[in-house]
Amino acid sequence: MEVHVDSIGGLSHRQYRYRKGISTIDGLDGTEIKWSKSLRYLGVQIDKKLNFKEHIHAVVVKAQTTVAKLARVMPNIGSPRQEKRILLNEVVHDSILYAAPIWAKALEVKKEKQKLLSVQRRSALRFVSA
């Protein structure tokens, strides 16, 4: 079994201070594990406070780029069939809602909820009125 060192990160539950220039810890077989503010596990960004702000930010950026790329597929003249519109909108919607039961509590913060609603609104407007 191989371990990809680039995908391993250390996440401390305490405030970690960089003392004497130490920003890594020794792992197995002499590999170094870097400390980070958040780590990605099964597609979800987990931060030390478990508020999932990093994950929501990453999801918003990913959904915005997906909307922009899929908007290029939509024709400007004439209207695409309803099935195509629904399919393209669902691609964005599913990427936003991946692992939602895990990070749903983060949407209690109005600012985080507004970020996701903004992307959903833009994708719905783009694919409905294309």
Q: For each of the chain's 130 residues, which pLDDT tens digit applies?
A: 454 555 555 544 444 454 455 555 555 666 666 666 777 778 787 777 778 888 888 889 999 998 888 888 776 656 667 777 788 888 888 888 888 888 888 888 888 888 888 888 888 887 776 5
Amino acid identity for residue 33 in this structure: I
Rounded alpha-carbon distances, angstroms, from residue 73 to 52, 70, 127? 32, 5, 10
Nearest-CA neighbor of 65 among 122, 3, 130? 122
Query: Does the global pTM surpass 0.75?
Result: no
Give the model's pLDDT for residue 49. Answer: 74
